[in-house]
Structure 1
Amino acid sequence: MNNYEKYRQVRKEAAATGLLLLILIVAWIAAGFGLAGSSVELFHLPLWVWTATIGIWLFAIIGVKVLTATVFVDMSLDDEDGKGEVRHDK
């Protein structure tokens, strides 16, 4: 994999991670505010507390597992061709 391909892969991974973050924020808002009017309680706590904390946490774990299985690639970040080497002469 050359440096340009690595750069494109890193950008793809960053974009997918940002998209997952955006989805998590929207889901958190929907779970917290969307269920605020619900009268369902679990262990004397409203349902929105459980969905906005534990539910989003589990959703984030599943999202990361999906990202690592489908988007992320295990690659070496070393400069293989030597062209991008930075020298620090003193």
Structure 2
Amino acid sequence: MADSSHQLPLTDLKITPTAWVAKADVPGFKRDEITVEIEDVKLGKVLRVRGQKNNSGWEPETLTVRERTLANFSRSYYLSGTTFDVNGEF
């Protein structure tokens, strides 16, 4: 059986002369479980989208046996040649 706790969200990316628009499907995640960041690196900028969710509903340290894991993902996109300001919305 595949490990579904590390599946990447399906993402569409549209690049125009003035914008990069990304739309990602993250079913089952709440807004506060998703992080979107832009990081400056040597060759430009990197867009990082991360999510982390506790599937069991209980805190990990209170469990005697843990078979359901944290669901998490991380996607990164190098924004090559980006010279415009970066902003976003959820």
Q: Report the TM-score, using the length of structure 1 for normalisation.
A: 0.29
Structure of greater Rg: 1
The structure carrying a bigger helix percent of its residues is: 1
